[in-house]
């Protein structure tokens, strides 16, 4: 089941919210767990057993680590066991096919018989719930959170359906208090509805329209320079509006249930360095990699060379986390290399002034990286790069012109105007989130006044949301891009 589907919008969500608010406070976490398991099982019932098994395993490991004592030797042994099993499960389901295929390619080159392995199906969301489970037992070991004895709360944390499939990557220590005590107000619910609708519009109106352009350009066997750059720019916008749209919907659903999740995007395409980009893009993952991988590797404690190595390895493994393909590894290495270079140059990664040259160079690096991230294999990436940097023909190919519609061109223009407007607006506000407004203000004398601007904005969002639903009903199924990770 996906958020951008009629089944979710008109069946699952209304029934869940109705039961959620009719039930008492003490039963809501259990109801949330049950609903999340139904949400996950809608895809495949059999993988629900694996999901529940991983949850039980990490709950038990957390208790063992907590009983052994913070940072003690016995706790360390339990932690290593827990992480080893978690990574073993992730490694088998996510990388077994890739590993066997790579070994077979080497063996066949020497004339040897290849291994035969039944294709391993990748469970949806496994990367996210494994990472969240690992962060929990590490936090218990470090003493950042006590081991919970409430299995329902822990299982609901791992399974909570708003973020289950594609993040944000949450941490138990950040949500533990909210599982025990969370507020439910009309303002919070209204804010959540608006945020959900904004994400839905991003996904259906912009990302899905640009997906057709990107897919066609990357499929061309002989792209021109114009084709390749069009495909790269279309995918750059598609990925942002698709993934940030999902994050908006997840955060909005959380608000409807009284939870407040961390922000996952802060206008990343306004960044003036790759370091700044990773402070703004997929923030929950970048902070997870920093806190649980970079610091574990030694961070910046081992000297200059070790710091550069740790930065590079963190991003290399971050790339591998995205998928079992050499394209993701190279993409991670690309970002890791630039992070190390920027640190070596002592670049200002928290600029107070907008420098168009630094922004343009950073944006170019990001777009170049997205090409290999999107490419199905190295051959496709090489074909796209060859066309992009040959500068031979900036005209679109006849095949591309025949498939490109005026709506797609207009959507691409709207996407980049939107990115520029909100990016520059947030930059000149020093990227500080504005206070949440309420449509009704209560004055000291008890009188009320209405914020008509906010009402108009929400009415516009509602109209676009309705139009998005109509568009969704007319188009074919389009999953979120990060479902594959």
State which of 182, 207, 230 marks the end of a domain: 182
- Whether residues 94 and 238 share a domain: the answer is no
Q: State how beta strands 448-450 and 440-442 pair.
A: antiparallel
Phi, psi of 62 (to 5 degrees): -60, -40
482 burial type by CB count under 10 A (0-12 exposed, 13-18 middle, 19+ buried) = buried
Task: Say whether pLDDT at 437 is over 70.
Answer: no
State which of 146, 163, 182 marks the end of a domain: 182
Query: For position 365, what pLDDT does the model report?
Result: 98
Task: Say whether pLDDT at 423 is over 50.
Answer: yes
441 SS3 class: strand
Task: Say whether pLDDT at 160 is over 50.
Answer: yes
Number of domains in the chain: 2
- Whether residues 176 and 208 share a domain: the answer is no
At 384, list the tokens.
């796209």
Is 322 part of the annotated catalytic residue set? Answer: yes
80 SS3 class: helix
- Whether residues 367 and 226 share a domain: the answer is yes
Is position 320 within any domain? Answer: no
- Whether residues 64 and 143 share a domain: the answer is yes
Beta bridge partners of 440: 450
Is position 435 within any domain? Answer: no
Return the exposure string of 252-267: e unless at least 16 CB atoms fall within 10 Å of the residue's CB, then b.
bbbbbbbbbbeebbbb
Look at 124 and 86; give whichever has higher pLDDT: 86
288, 301 Cβ separation under 8 angstroms: no
- Whether residues 144 and 242 share a domain: the answer is no
- Whether residues 15 and 143 share a domain: the answer is yes
Query: For position 482, what pLDDT does the model report?
Result: 57
Is position 383 within any domain? Answer: yes
Task: Say whether pLDDT at 407 is over 70.
Answer: yes
Query: What digits encode the pLDDT tens for the residues 329-348?
Result: 999 999 999 999 999 999 88
Query: What digits encode the pLDDT tens for the residues 53-73?
Result: 999 999 999 999 999 999 999
Is position 331 within any domain? Answer: no
Phi, psi of 446 (to 5 degrees): 90, -5
Give the contacts of 169 (CB within 8 A, at least 6 positions apart): 128, 131, 132, 135, 163, 284, 285, 288
Query: What digits encode the pLDDT tens for the residues 16-34?
Result: 999 999 998 889 999 999 9
Express as a percent the part of the chain with pLDDT over 90: 65
Is position 340 within any domain? Answer: no
- Whether residues 384 and 256 share a domain: the answer is yes
143, 459 Cβ separation under 8 angstroms: no
Query: Nearest to residue 251, comparing CAs of 285, 200, 183, 210?
Result: 200
458 burial type by CB count under 10 A (0-12 exposed, 13-18 middle, 19+ buried) = middle
**Of 163, 216, 282, 322, catalytic:** 322
pTM: 0.89
Is position 328 within any domain? Answer: no
Task: Say whether pLDDT at 359 is over 90.
Answer: yes
- Whether residues 163 and 48 share a domain: the answer is yes
Query: What digits encode the pLDDT tens for the residues 237-284?
Result: 999 999 999 999 999 999 999 999 999 999 999 999 999 999 999 999
Is position 368 within any domain? Answer: yes
Return the exposure string of 412-427: e unless at least 16 CB atoms fall within 10 Å of the residue's CB, then b.
beebeeebeeebeebb
- Whether residues 171 and 230 share a domain: the answer is no
Query: For position 435, what pLDDT does the model report?
Result: 47
State which of 182, 216, 237 marks the end of a domain: 182
- Whether residues 234 and 170 share a domain: the answer is no
- Whether residues 171 and 196 share a domain: the answer is no
- Residue 229 sits in which domain range? 188-272+351-430+451-483
Query: For position 242, what pLDDT does the model report?
Result: 94
- Whether residues 94 and 135 share a domain: the answer is yes
Is position 411 within any domain? Answer: yes
């Amino acid at each position: 089941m996906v958020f951008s589907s009629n089944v979710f919008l008109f069946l699952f969500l209304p029934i869940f919210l109705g039961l959620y608010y009719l039930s008492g406070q003490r039963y809501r976490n259990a109801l949330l767990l049950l609903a999340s398991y139904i949400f996950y099982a809608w895809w495949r019932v059999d993988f629900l057993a694996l999901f529940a098994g991983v949850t039980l395993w990490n709950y038990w490991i957390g208790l063992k680590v907590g009983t052994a004592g913070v940072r003690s030797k016995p706790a360390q042994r339990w932690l290593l066991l827990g992480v080893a099993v978690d990574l073993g499960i992730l490694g088998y389901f996510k990388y077994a096919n890739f590993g066997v295929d790579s070994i077979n390619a080497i063996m066949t080159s020497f004339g040897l018989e290849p291994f035969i392995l039944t294709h391993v199906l990748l469970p949806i969301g496994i990367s996210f719930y494994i990472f969240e489970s690992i962060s929990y037992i590490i936090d218990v070991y470090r003493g950042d959170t006590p081991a919970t004895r409430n299995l329902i709360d822990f299982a609901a944390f791992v399974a909570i359906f708003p973020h289950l499939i594609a993040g944000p990557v949450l941490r138990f220590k950040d949500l533990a208090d909210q599982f025990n005590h969370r507020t439910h107000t009309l303002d919070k619910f209204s804010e959540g509805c608006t945020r959900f609708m904004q994400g839905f519009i991003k996904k259906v109106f912009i990302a899905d329209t640009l997906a057709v352009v990107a897919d066609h350009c990357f499929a061309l066997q002989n792209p021109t320079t114009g084709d390749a750059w069009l495909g790269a720019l279309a995918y750059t916008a598609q990925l942002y509006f698709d993934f940030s749209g999902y994050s908006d919907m997840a955060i909005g659903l959380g608000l409807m249930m009284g939870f407040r999740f961390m922000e996952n995007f802060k206008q990343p395409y306004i960044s003036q360095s790759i370091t700044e980009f990773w402070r703004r893009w997929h923030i929950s993952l970048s902070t997870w990699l920093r806190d649980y991988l970079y610091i574990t590797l030694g961070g910046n404690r081992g000297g200059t060379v070790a710091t550069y190595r740790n930065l590079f390895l963190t991003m290399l493994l971050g790339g591998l986390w995205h998928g079992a393909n050499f394209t993701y590894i190279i993409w991670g290495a690309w970002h890791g290399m630039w992070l190390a270079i920027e640190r070596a140059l002592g670049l200002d990664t928290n600029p107070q002034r907008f420098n168009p040259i630094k922004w343009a160079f950073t944006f170019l690096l990001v777009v170049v990286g997205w090409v290999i991230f999107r490419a199905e294999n190295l051959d496709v990436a090489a074909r796209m790069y060859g066309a992009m940097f040959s500068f031979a023909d900036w005209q679109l190919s006849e095949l591309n012109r025949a498939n490109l519609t005026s709506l797609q061109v207009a959507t691409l223009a709207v996407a980049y105007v939107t990115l520029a407007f909100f990016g520059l607006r947030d930059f000149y506000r020093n990227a500080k989130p504005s206070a949440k407004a309420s449509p009704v203000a209560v004055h000291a004398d008890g009188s009320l006044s209405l914020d008509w601007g906010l009402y108009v904005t929400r009415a516009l969002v509602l109209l676009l949301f309705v139009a998005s639903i109509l568009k969704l009903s007319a188009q074919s199924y389009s999953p979120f891009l990060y479902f594959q990770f």
